[in-house]
Amino acid sequence: MIVMDIVDRFIKYARMDTQSDENSTQTPSTQKQFILAKEVEKEALEMGLTDVSLDNNCYLMATLPANTKKEVPVIGFIAHFDTSPDMSGENVTPRIVKAYDGKDIVLNEAREVILSPADFPELLQHVGEDLIVTDGNTLLGADDKAGIAEIMSAMQYLIDHPEIEHGKIRIAFTPDEEIGRGADKFDVARFGAKWAYTMDGSEVGELEYENFNAASAKVAIRGRNVHPGYAKGKMINALHVAHELVAMLPEKERPEYTEGYEGFFHLIATNGTVDEAMISFIIRDHNRAKFEARKQLMAQVVDLLNKRYDNRLTLELRDQYYNMREKVEPVMHLIDYASRAMEAAGVKPNIKPIRGGTDGARLSFMGLPCPNIFAGGMNFHGRYEFLPIPSLRKASEVIVGIAGLVAKEA
């Protein structure tokens, strides 16, 4: 078998269209995710992994058997097949910019698409490095094909270097993470790891075990439409009621005003007419008590407007996921292993909260503590996405390092 370099592996994966579809009710949401899944399944078998299984829902699992007689905890590494629906993943054409010089990168001259440090100053942190970029027409797909490439290359490295002692390692690749369904049909018991890491972060060094508590809120509003010339005392304009609701929420607690641990109410959609309207929010907060208070405030606002407008509003409030911190804090050695593996690889750990969600959060509450490690890509979900090659290699090196540390200290 020809051993594939991690860069070639990533580029091969990136060229495959695996975009998920939030409007689909199937799992996977798009059958094209199986194209990449079957390719990775083939590679896993060729490199000698065992227990390789790809189910009908596009969940792929495999095992690297232990090479030690020690009692070592079974650990896992997880990434996802799909790319975001936010930008086309069809006909992705990656190219490598050699020894980036700190200047503008013309991604697409005809369309005047330029990746510039003036807009993306994080580029300047990678001067002198080789970067993988898009052609300006699609996303790149480093989220999370970089993670898949890093895990597969780490497994190959461990096979090729039997002198590195390690316990049993389980790997898994999932569909539909980008539409919030990656953990829906993940069989934690079958996976059989004591803990795992998702390789799904961004900038090199990121290590995350805190994320938002998350809920969605949809409010349906029934208006009362009459001829505007004779509307006084009769008309209830559903669109104006929707505007009232938005105005009653704290203006400075929106995404554009918040950072760090600050939560928010995010208006994501409005549509309707005078007669009826629908308004949708997502609600986020790292602090569970504040999260519950935000949901309560939303309910109180709807109640107040119902009193004002004769019960014409219906609120659908649904929890989506919770902060994994409460599940990881009791087992902080997971973070210690990852931090030390990064330091050994010459990477400074950057432990910070995720201002978003991750499959690892849901998996943590399903019994599999699962913090998140950098995959190395930047500007996910759009045409300005790029992947520094040294970051790609370092992430794979961290996986190898964690495996070795866990076995060494078993």
DSSP string, 65-109: ---SSS----EEEEEE--B-TTS--TT---EEE-S--SS-EEEET
Mean local confidence (pLDDT), 324-344: 97
Q: In this model, does residue 356 exceed pLDDT 60?
A: yes
Cis link prior to 144 (omega < 30° from 0)? yes
Q: In this model, does residue 22 exceed pLDDT 90?
A: no
Mean local confidence (pLDDT), 102-128: 97
Contact between 302 and 241 under an 8 Å Cβ cutoff? The reply is no
Q: φ, ψ for residue 195 (rounded to 5)?
A: -155, 170
Rounded distance between C-alpha atoms, residue 140 and residue 134, angstroms? 6
Looking at the chain, the whole-number percentage of residues with pLDDT higher than 90 is 95
Structure-token pair, residue 344: 């050994």
Mean local confidence (pLDDT), 354-365: 90
Contact between 33 and 41 under an 8 Å Cβ cutoff? The reply is no
Q: What integer best gives the mean pLDDT of the chain? A: 96
Q: DSSP character for 125? A: G
Which tens digit of pLDDT belongs to each residue from 45-74?
999 999 999 999 999 999 999 999 999 999
Q: In this model, does residue 117 exceed pLDDT 70?
A: yes
Structure-token pair, residue 82: 């799909």
Rounded distance between C-alpha atoms, residue 272 and residue 107, angstroms? 39
Q: In this model, does residue 2 exceed pLDDT 70?
A: no
Q: What's residue 394's pLDDT?
A: 98
Rounded distance between C-alpha atoms, residue 148 and residue 285, angstroms? 29
Contact between 75 and 169 under an 8 Å Cβ cutoff? The reply is yes
Q: What's residue 174's pLDDT?
A: 98
Q: What's residue 180's pLDDT?
A: 86
Handedness of CA 37, 41, 47, 48 (dihedral sign): positive
pLDDT band at 1 (very low <50, low <70, confident <90, very high): low
Q: CB within 8 A of 386, min separation 6: which ones?
A: 115, 123, 131, 132, 133, 134, 140, 142, 377, 378, 379
Rounded distance between C-alpha atoms, residue 4 and residue 44, angstroms? 12
Structure-token pair, residue 288: 């569970």
pLDDT band at 358 (very low <50, low <70, confident <90, very high): confident
Fold assignment, 213-321: Alpha-Beta Plaits (3.30.70)
The yes/no answer on whether domain 6-210+324-408 falls in CATH 3.40.630.10 is yes
Domain boundaries defined on the chain: 6-210+324-408, 213-321
Which among 146, 336, 81 is positioned nearest to 154, based on CA atoms?
146
Q: In this model, does residue 93 exceed pLDDT 90?
A: yes
Mean local confidence (pLDDT), 245-267: 96
Q: What's residue 407's pLDDT?
A: 98
Q: In this model, does residue 176 exceed pLDDT 60?
A: yes
The separation between CA 58 and the C-alpha centre of its own chain, rounded to angstroms, equals 17
Kindly write down the DSSP assignment for every residue of 163-179, as one continuous string.
TS----EEEEEES-GGG
The separation between CA 355 and the C-alpha centre of its own chain, rounded to angstroms, equals 11
Q: What's residue 357's pLDDT?
A: 79
**Residues designated catalytic:** 82, 177
Q: What's residue 65's pLDDT?
A: 98
Q: What's residue 4's pLDDT?
A: 87
Give this prediction's pTM.
Answer: 0.89
